[in-house]
Structure 1
Amino acid sequence: MFSSGGPLHPHQYFPNQLFIQGWLYEGLVSYGQDGEIQPALATSWLTEEIVGAGQRVTFTLREGVKFHDGSDFDCASVKLNFDHVLSESARQRHSWLGAVQAMEKWFCNEQGQFVVETNKRFYPLLQELTYIRPLTIAAPSSFANGADSHPELENSCNPGEAKWEGIEALEGFNCAGLSAPVGTGPFKFVSREINEDGTDKTVLFARHDEYWGAIPDIEFVKLETFENTALIEEALLSGDLDMALGIGPLSALQIQDLKFFHSDIVDVRHSDVLQHSLMVMNTNKEPTNDITVRQAIIHAVNKGRFIEEEFGGLEKPVDQVLPQTAPYCNVDLTPKWSYDPVKAELLACPVESGLSSGGIAGVTIACVAIVALVGFMVHMIRREKQGKPIFVTPSESAKGEQA
Structure 2
Amino acid sequence: MADRDEFPFRSVAAAVYLPTLLFGIGEGALIPLIPAAADNVGATIALAGLIAAMLQIGELFGDIPSGALVARVGERAAMIGAVVVALGAAVLIMFSPEPFVLGLGVFVLGLATAVFGLARHAFMTTYVPIRYRARSLSLLGGVTRAGRFVGPLISAPVIHLTGGMTGVYWTMVLFCLVTAALLIVLPDPETTVRARTGKPAAPVTAPLNLQTTIRQNGRVLGTVGVGAAVIAALRSSCLVIIPLWAVSIGVDEATTSLIIGVTGAVDFALFYVSGHIMDRFGRIWGALPPLVGMGSGLIILSLTHDLPNAVSWLWVIAALLAIANGMSSGVLMTLGADLADPRRPAPFLGAWRFVTDAGAAASPVLIAVVTALASLAAAAASLGAIAAAGVVIMWTWLPRGRERDVG
TM-score normalised per structure 1: 0.22
Q: Whose radius of gyration is greater, 1 or 2?
A: 1
Give the number of the structure whose residues are more often helix, by fraction. 2
**TM-score if structure 2 supplies the norm length?**
0.22
Higher relative contact order at CA 8 Å, sep ≥6: structure 1 or structure 2?
2
